[in-house]
Homo-oligomer: A and B are copies of this chain.
Amino acid sequence: MPKVVDHEQRRTEVAAAARSAIADRGLDGATVRDIAAAAGVSTGVLAHYFRDKDELLLQALRDSYAAAAGRMLRAGRRNPGLEAVRGMLEEELPLDDAGRTELRVWLAFWGRAAFNPALADEQAAGCRVWRKLIEEAIRVGIEDGSVRADAEPAEEAEALMAFVDGLGLQATLEPGRLPAERQRELLDLQLRRLRPG
């Protein structure tokens, strides 16, 4: 069914254009007209793929979270034990231009999700996946001895996710005070308590 594939492909492209427009101008600044222009389609064509702006934003958030989960999985495979946990968490921090763009988009969504149940559900689903990935990496670290044996994987994953969300938030709002190296130092401090001994 090539037509269906094209449709999905086009939805993904339009959602990517939406993420870029949101990162530049915020959720309210990014108009449907801007997004259509960035995606190289008319607003009429855009309306064929997304019923309204809310549906488009939901797809943009979903794609962004799925991309982050994919990066986390790959980072987890590249490193052993506790280093896998660190590599995965780094994928959620604004350490380079792509990360900073992503965090601005997430921040805009978080600000709206408190007032929009559909966005809040999407946010919760994305966080659940990330938490499970971190939890599993901690479990593997306990088995290979790089994480202290008495660590509670679910608890630690939850605390680490809160920490990384807060650090990403602060680094997005104060990029000068929290450059990549400083974020890595603070992540290192946070990971210290997982070390054995």
A124–B193 CB distance below 8 A: no
Task: Decide yes or no whether A25 CB sits under 8 A from chain B.
Answer: yes
With A177-B124, A186-B158 known as contacts, the answer to whether A27 contacts B111 (CB < 8 A) is: yes
B120–A173 CB distance below 8 A: yes
Nearest-neighbour CB distance to chain B for A151, whole angstroms, equals 10
Chain A 103-156 interface residues, beta-carbon cutoff 8 Å to B: 104, 107-115, 120, 123-124, 127, 155-156
Task: Decide yes or no whether A192 CB sits under 8 A from chain B.
Answer: yes
Nearest-neighbour CB distance to chain B for A95, whole angstroms, equals 15
Task: Decide yes or no whether A189 CB sits under 8 A from chain B.
Answer: yes
B104–A108 CB distance below 8 A: no
With A25-B115, A112-B26 known as contacts, the answer to whether A169 contacts B165 (CB < 8 A) is: yes
Interface centre among A108, A120, A169 (most CB of B within 10 A): A169
B172–A162 CB distance below 8 A: no
A114–B165 CB distance below 8 A: no
Q: Which of B108, B112, B114, B189 contacts A172 (CB 8 A)?
A: B114
Task: Decide yes or no whether A190 CB sits under 8 A from chain B.
Answer: yes
A167–B162 CB distance below 8 A: yes
CA distance in complex: A33, B177 (Å): 37
Beyond A165-B165, A165-B170, list 13 extra A-B contacts (CB 8 Å).
A28-B28, A107-B111, A107-B114, A108-B111, A111-B112, A120-B174, A155-B185, A159-B163, A162-B186, A163-B190, A164-B166, A165-B166, A193-B193
21 contacts between A and B (CB under 8 A): A25-B115, A26-B111, A29-B115, A104-B114, A107-B110, A108-B111, A108-B114, A108-B115, A109-B111, A111-B111, A124-B173, A127-B174, A158-B186, A159-B189, A159-B190, A163-B190, A165-B165, A165-B170, A166-B167, A166-B168, A166-B169
